[in-house]
Structure 1
Amino acid sequence: MRKLLLGSVIITCCAFNIKAQSPVINEFSCSNLSQFVDNYGKYEDWIELYNPTASPLSLAGYYLSDDSLNNSKWEIPVGVTIPANGFVCFWADGRGEVSGGQYHTNFKLSQTKNNNEYIVLANPSAVTIDIIEIKQETQLGHSYGRTSDGAATWSVFTTPTHNTSNNVATAYDDYASKPQVDVAAGYFTNPFVVTLSTTEPTSSIRYTTNGSEPTASSTLYTSPINISATTVLKAATFSTNPSILPSFVQYNTYFMNVNHTIPVVSIAGYQLNTLANGSQSLQPIGSFEYFDTLKIRQAKTYGEFNSHGQDSWANSQRSLDFISRDEMGYNKEIKEKLFAYSDRDAFQRIILRAAGDDNYPADHHSANAGSAHVRDAFIHNLAASGDLDLDVRLGSKCVVYLNGQYWGVYDLRENPDDHDFTDYYYGQDKYNIQYILTWGSTWAEYGGNQALTDWNNLYNFIMTHDMSVPANYQYVTDRYDEKSLVDYVLVNMFTVCSDWLNWNTGWWRGLDSTGTHLKWGYILWDNDATFGHYINYTGIPNTNYDADPCDPEVLSGSSDPEGHIQILLRLRQNPEFNQYYISRQIDLWNTLFSCETMLQQLDSTVAVIDPEMAMHSTRWSGTYSEWTTNVQSLRNYITNRCPALVSGFTSCYSLTGPFDLTLDTDVPGAGDIKLNSITIDQFPWTGSYFGNISNNIEVLPAFGYEFGSWSANHNTILPTTSSPVVAIDLIQSDTVIAHFIWTSIVEQSKDPLIVAMPSVFNEQTTIRYYLPEAAYVNIRLYSLVGYESIEIVNHIQHENGEYLLTLNLNEFGLKPGMYILLFQAGEKTKTIKLLFTK
């Protein structure tokens, strides 16, 4: 049995010698998922204080905190009084307010953080008078409190006494220790046995192999357990001591004779199978284990599951949401990096999405004919790879096992309409976001009626003011991310989405000025009804590959109930926006939504799941052959769509062309060029662009260079060739070259500087370096694999100043490739990359 409770009591009693007239921390809960509700209708962690005296006690000026090193984190406001021998409760939810007669601290509690957390009570002089370390996790619905009001000992309560006396509750000393398991979770090719053991005195172990949590009536462990098939083993210790509660669950998944090429998620719980088979109202509790492609379990936690999806719920393979719950005492998050396009490595909420309405084989419903099991995640990851001005549901492929049974190929998906998402990426927590969603109807997911009011006010301003007036346009763009709107419309246009504005639209902004995303911007939601697939819920004019790029602009009424297209049309009154909107389409058509890029992304997505799809198809009564045919049909649609857009661009926007536009620099590595909305850093670069529209070009010099001039062969550059920002209206194909000149690399720097000009070369380059003071200099060249290739300058004394040296790699007999130049001046070290070509 874990002896943690007594340790916490010693901290409380011995360190501070609580006096009779002082209030004390009497009880708290980090496990309040569904018992005690605050004035917002939320179930939050709570802290209870007790007044051990016979007189009312004012708490005005006292402090509560979750940090032992900062005991004055939240000051209890005037007017908070504990009755004689009475109690007062505080919601530890981070709101930092008093509302509805209830008190909310500015911090939250967590019982499963890696670093221990405290509850601290300090007097008005900021002297700590009571403290307890949250070292003991409590199970769902339990609390931790003094055995009786104000007592020195602490106990676990299975029936918490929120804002009432602990004296009437049944107090338990602790939980039993979890069983020990001698075989770790993983993959196996031959049957084996698992041995369970416990150090808990006078106890027994009970276990299950069907995914449910062990109870006192589960199978009694008496001898090693035979494992001959894929099995989720869950075990718990049950003490005969009535003061000791059953342990937390120990759980492992053992995979037998299976081989997967993508990560595997094992989920298990009582009634989880029933939920996955269609009982949509259930919210079962269960375990979540994540195994990487090396077959190593990288994350495990406990939480709750619920249904995900609407139309797609009619399919036999259904999508599920999972929420890791700190309240259950295991882990507050799935602690693993799940997505290639993000560094995020902790997720409380995750979606297990069965490809939505692109599910294959979708029970062979006629509306799902041609499903490929890739569309939605493919589009979201494509958008993420292009760094569009949108929030997306990042996705990675996995195989799911449910209660030990193979459940097929799924997408692990991030959820952008969740405050953990906004907090991680933008520093906007759940109390500082206004988040509006449209799915048939429209509501505020966060921010309440004020969010809707603020949005409607902005919308009405746009509808009633001339956007060609700069002041009006500026007012809107100060509050609204117009580029996010453009990207939102264009993703759905390029992919011919037929289920978006009236069913799958989300937009939000943050209110915390210390964070980002302070303007209203958009998310991508479901993009499975795309590329001619599924039902045309939005009523777009054409679902074929030759749909015009301006088709979204005719959507209104029930197709666009919140008027996002009307905003687009109003903003197009502004010439600057109109140029951006049209040119952004052409930029993306040349890059992210080119056939080459889209097909590469599609092919890589398909290649990931291809080895898994035969087994998946068999599981859900499809065929691998039919799936590959459907994938090829999707591929053909994309191949046809790209060239079909040419006539659409010319007819929709009265453009001429297209013409080949080549951009180049006279010195490799001297700088980048921004064309309309995209930045180009590899030269020469050629795109297909149009006339009768201004193509805006801007030079971005690299360190050590400054812009000289532009040159073009056939088209006029405006305003002048010496301007770093110019425009060109194409009348024929052309090559535009940015010319650069060297400039001093000395910029009043206090540190040594070095630059190679150019850094990409086929024979020689010039190394320029600057020393702010005298120093010994070393310059060495290394191959990319790390062994030393050549010593250029060996510990030579230099006076302060700027130096030049010419480096010809042919003279050293070096092969083409990437090299690292190491520059040392005194104790300062810098490195630069050089690309030697032939």
Structure 2
Amino acid sequence: MFLLSSKRLRICAIYICVLVGLLLATEGNAQRVVINELMTSNAQTIQDEDGDTPDWIELYNASTTPVDLTNWVITDDSLEIDKWLFPAIVMQPGAYLLIFASDKDRKEGKYLHTSFRLGAGRESVFLYNQLGQRVDDYISTCIPSGFSYGHTPDGTNPKTHLLTPTPGRSNNESLTATIKPGKDTLVFSQSGGFFTQAFSLQLSTGLPGTRIYYTLDGSVPDENAQLYTSPIQVKSRKGDKNDVSEEETVATWQPPQGEVFKATVIRAVAYIDACPAGPVITHTYFVDEKMPQRYTFPILSIATDRSDFFGKKKGIYVSGENDGLGENFFASGKEWERSIHVEFFNENGARAIAQGMGARIHGRGSRKNPQKSVRIYAREEYGAEWLNFQMFPDLAIEKFKTLILRTPDADFSQTIFKDELIQTLIRPMNLDLQATRPSVVFINGEYWGIHNIRERFDKHYFAQHYGVDSESIDFLGLSLDGNEIIEGDGQHYANMIQYIRNHDLAEDVYYQYISTQLDIANFIDYHIAHLFFANWDWPNNNMRFWRPRTPAGKWRWVFFDCDACMIQDSYKFLYLYSSREENDLKYKSYEESTFLLRNLLQNRQFRTLFLQKFMYHLNTTFEPGRIIKEIQSFTQTYAPEVLEHIYRWNSPDTYTTWVQNLEEIKLFALRRPIEMLNQLQTLYQLPVLLYPNPSNGEFQVDLGDDEHIPLNIQVYTTQGQLIQTYTYVSSKEAKGVSMKLTHQPAGLYIVRIQYGSLVFNKKLVLYKQ
């Protein structure tokens, strides 16, 4: 039923690669070309034909046969395996080939020049043959000025620092050295935050001779960056032209309606003898005379190399130009994760987070929107294994592995906060939900709009919320891409489904067994929530469920992605998803995703509980007054931020459009309970009719059932005072009961109807008698 897990697929891929490698081993040894020597700080060693001293790379043919390098590739990015192609050139056995990494891109003349440069201690180099197979690589390490790094003797391992570089010649006689880069502390005179006036920023270190390099564009600084020689003037950027905000993120993208608000991002690093003496330090400064009041949301500032987000070859936020791979923003996996630096500023401007992280584009269909959701990862390779901060004030969790910066652009209703609203409304239900916090995001110092910071459902979420072993869970999914195994395996779930196929759950003994396999209360609330909010992007999509891999572990369903909710209040999904008419084409299209619900509803015990909970939530969780009150609260929270977001992303079209969209979901809140009540009555003949209403005191309760079930009716004032009680037993001959309120003033009353185990609360309006 379920596909192989991604982990198992990776293992299979590794085995295949090993087999392919063995098959190619003979040919690979016969034509062994290596990156023999490399220099990243060429001050005086060798000049090119222009008299410049760019970085250089030396290849060596360590085989005994000539090697044709035509259409081989050398690159500083493993994703761009077509970055710089070799011209028609043949290396003889034992020959050396010098290539300048100058960014001059020359394939003719005295020397070859690549289309990229090398940053000291930053860039790796990869060599691929004409088949796209990696032949050799150099993984970045610090090479001091005047030193090179390579094989000695030629073509052998290990590599080491060479005190006497030999470009284009043998390394065999070179003196080697052990390099221990110096350490120093880089200090900013002012931390990032909110400022009302311009100021001078000083950068300093503790040792004489240490040099400081910095950037202002979000990129990681190295020796090619600006050398710090005097204080940096940090001021308001009003009047500066838009930069990354003008990047076309998708074909339907529209530019901002004018100048976007900007901050100053300063990234700096200290160097000793061409080697970094410490980590890159990043601070973001927001300067505006009204800055303390400018934003009501906290700010999350992302700094990153421009090409990592917007480059045609490797930019994750744009369509890009990767033939055969499709749009960049649809690419996924670790290979499409980019290094970023994240700062989080509370509403008062205090910086609470400053940490290197990884970033990927998040979501499915929403990736094609101009503004995209971004998933951020804490990893040791970026600086820290966890993000240690209580991001959500109402959630007592103080460390996170992954967070989602969720864009409001995914909301089909363009309310900006609908999914967050629904997550808040269903907090009282027995569901696994994502904590959420609204924020404003900046990328490389430019306003990027409203995003909701969210928890992500993964193994770490379940470990922290339930105290289970993160490596011992089953986590499955159902989406438009098919069945998915996210963690663990699907054997337990498949066994449960097969059991149901072989046993009629109408029989209590079989239903009782299934209730030990899945969490019935959670399953019911999960389906009630999706059915009530009329989510038309479900259940064939956006369905996920998990269990701890223990003998007593039960399946639970997680609620997420309600962007397609609250649109059509008349949707009759309850009928569609509970139908058992096998000739119905709609039934067949939802057969797998609704299999559990349809079969469980055949059991009277489950059906009664399902109806009880549905009616309870209609009277409480989904009570129109409660939903509208919550909508109004969200509106007040978001209103101060909406105009700037629209100005940036042109979505919704106008502020007036946004207000109109909110009115639409208010109408949904008013109409949907009635629609759901009608569907429940039609399918299950619920005893919920009370008429006439308004009434002059005489009214009828229509049971709509022909069974002998005790009925208890109580009438309360809105202050909770019980004023009348009536007990009745229905029958085929008398399906309803008549009541009369006497000597009561006109007004609103609550009629509590207990019909067997079901309880309904109806409002009765009494006019003057």
Per the TM superposition, whether the score is higher than 0.5 is yes
Cα distance between partner residues in 2 of 1:489 and 1:306: 30
**Which residue is 2:545 aligned to?**
507
SS of the equivalent of 2:387 reads coil
SS for the counterpart of 2:214 is: strand
Matches within 5 A, 1:401-800: 401-416=442-457, 418-448=458-488, 451-512=489-550, 518-532=553-567, 543-545=568-570, 547=572, 549-554=574-579, 563-621=592-650, 622-658=653-689, 713-715=725-727
Q: Residues 357-372 of structure 1: matches in 2 within 5 Å?
A: 357-358=410-411, 368=412, 370-372=413-415
- Do 2:442 and 2:449's aligned partners in 1 also have CA atoms closer than 8 Å? yes
What is aligned with 1:381?
424
Structure 1: give runs of 5+ residues left out of the alignment.
1-36, 43-138, 143-155, 359-367, 533-542, 661-687, 698-709, 719-728, 738-838
Specify the SS of the correspondent of 1:206.
strand
Match of 1:266 in 2: 301
Of 357, 372, 384, which residue of structure 2 is paired with 1:318? 372
How many Å apart are 1:691 and its aligned residue? 7.4
Q: 1:183 to 1:433 in 2, by over 3 A?
A: same
1:231 correspondence with 2:264: yes
Alpha-carbon contact 1:656-1:691 (below 8 Å) kept: yes
Distance in 2 of aligned mates of 1:731 and 1:341 = 49
- Equivalent pair of 2:386/2:399 in contact (CA under 8 Å): yes
How far apart are the structure 1 equivalents of 2:554 and 2:723? 39
After TM superposition, give the deviation of residue 177 of structure 1 in Å: 3.1
CA spacing shift, 1:429–1:596, aligned 2, 3 Å: same
Match of 1:346 among 399, 417, 423: 399
Q: Per the alignment, do residues 570 and 558 of structure 1 end up closer, same or farther by CA in structure 2, a change over 3 Å counting?
A: closer
User: In 1, Cα distance between the equivalents of 2:182 and 2:689?
Assistant: 73
Separation (CA, whole Å) in 1 of partners of 2:587 and 2:547: 25
1:499-554, CA deviations, whole angstroms, 9 ceiling, x for partnerless residues?
A: 011121101111157xxx9211111131101112xxxxxxxxxx444646444324
**1:404: how far off?**
0.3
Residues 576, 210 of structure 1: alpha-carbon distance in 2 compared, 3 angstrom cutoff: same
* Alignment match, 1:51: none
The offset of 1:652, in angstroms, is 2.3
> How far apart are residue 408 of structure 1 and its match?
0.6
Which of 169, 180, 201 matches 1:173? 180
Preserved CA contact (<8 Å) 1:479 1:519? yes
Given the superposition, is the C-alpha separation of residues 380 and 691 from structure 1 closer, same or farther in structure 2, using an over 3 Å criterion? farther
How far, CA to CA, are the matches of 1:689 and 1:276 in structure 2? Answer: 58
Q: CA deviation at 1:261?
A: 0.3
Structure with the bigger RCO (C-alpha within 8 Å, sep 6+) is: 2
Change (3 A) 1:548 1:527: closer
**1:447/1:221 Cα in 2 relative to 1: closer, same or farther (>3 Å)?**
same
**Cα offsets for 1:548-591 (capped at 9, x unmatched):** 64443249878765724221121122221110011111011011
Corresponding residue for residue 397 of structure 1:
438
2-structure distance, mates of 1:315, 1:403: 20
Kindly indicate whether the alpha-carbon contact (under 8 Å) linking 2:439 and 2:450 is maintained by their aligned counterparts in 1: yes
Give 1:142-291 correspondences, 5 Å limit: 172-173=179-180, 176-228=183-235, 229=237, 230-240=263-273, 245-257=276-288, 258=291, 259-270=294-305, 271-274=307-310, 275-278=316-319, 279-280=328-329, 281=331, 282-291=336-345
Three-state SS of the structure 2 residue aligned to 1:656 is coil
Q: How far, CA to CA, are the matches of 1:190 and 1:496 in structure 2?
A: 50
- Quote the Cα distance in structure 1 between the aligned partners of 2:485 and 2:420: 23
- Counterpart amino acid of residue 421 in structure 2: F
What RMSD, in angstroms, separates the aligned Cα atoms of the two structures?
3.8
Matches of 1:581 and 1:544 in 2, distance apart? 21
For the 8 Å contact 2:440–2:450, the answer to whether it is kept is yes
Q: Deviations over 1:264-284 (max 9, x none)?
A: 111110135413344414432
The AA in structure 2 aligned to 1:570 is N
Does the CA-based 8 Å contact 1:646-1:658 persist in structure 2? Answer: no
Residue 300 of structure 1 deviates from its aligned partner by 2.2
CA distance in 2, matches of 1:424, 1:173: 40
Say if 1:397 and 1:608, in contact at 8 Å, map to a contact too: no
Q: Conserved in 1, the CA contact under 8 Å of 2:711 and 2:729? A: no
Q: Distance in 1 between matches of 2:737 and 2:197?
A: 69
Describe the shift of the 1:525–1:296 C-alpha distance in structure 2 as closer, same or farther (beyond 3 A): same
| Structure 2 gaps, min length 5 | 1-9, 16-120, 125-139, 144-148, 150-155, 162-177, 238-262, 311-315, 320-327, 692-700, 713-721, 731-735, 740-749, 755-769
Compared CA separation, residues 168 and 475, structure 1 to 2 (3 A): same
- In the alignment, the residues of structure 2 paired with residue 518 and residue 158 of structure 1 have an alpha-carbon distance, to the nearest angstrom, of 50
2-structure distance, mates of 1:226, 1:558: 67
List per-residue Cα deviations over 1:757-795 (Å, max 9, x = no partner): xxxxxxxxxxxxxxxxxxxxxxxxxxxxxxxxxxxxxxx
Q: Distance in 1 between matches of 2:160 and 2:556?
A: 50
Provide closer, same or farther for how the CA distance between residues 202 and 603 of structure 1 changes in structure 2, counting only shifts above 3 A.
Answer: same
Shift of 1:457: 1.2
Match of 1:305 among 354, 359, 377: 359
Deviation at 1:390, TM superposition (A): 2.2
> Aligned residue for 2:252?
none
- Whether contact under 8 Å (1:352, 1:411) holds in the other structure is yes
Give the 3-state SS of the residue equivalent to 1:651 in structure 2: helix
Conservation of the 8 A alpha-carbon contact between 1:268 and 1:402: yes
Q: Decide whether aligned partners of structure 1 residues 439 and 200 sit closer, same or farther in structure 2, where only a CA change above 3 A counts.
A: farther
Change (3 A) 1:264 1:597: same
Match of 1:577, SS state, is helix
Give me the whole-angstrom Cα distance separating, in 2, the residues matched to 1:484 and 1:140: 50
Q: TM-score, normalising length from structure 1?
A: 0.55
Deviations 1:410-459 (A, max 9, x none): 1111111x1110110122334201111112133444445xx222211111
Note the C-alpha offset of 1:254.
Answer: 0.7
How far residue 657 of structure 1 moved from its aligned partner, in angstroms, is 2.0
Structure 1 residue 464: Cα displacement: 1.7
Take 1:435 and 1:227, find their aligned partners in 2: how far apart are those partners? 49
For the structure 1 residues 201 and 443, does the alpha-carbon distance in structure 2 shift closer, same or farther, using more than 3 Å as the test? Answer: farther
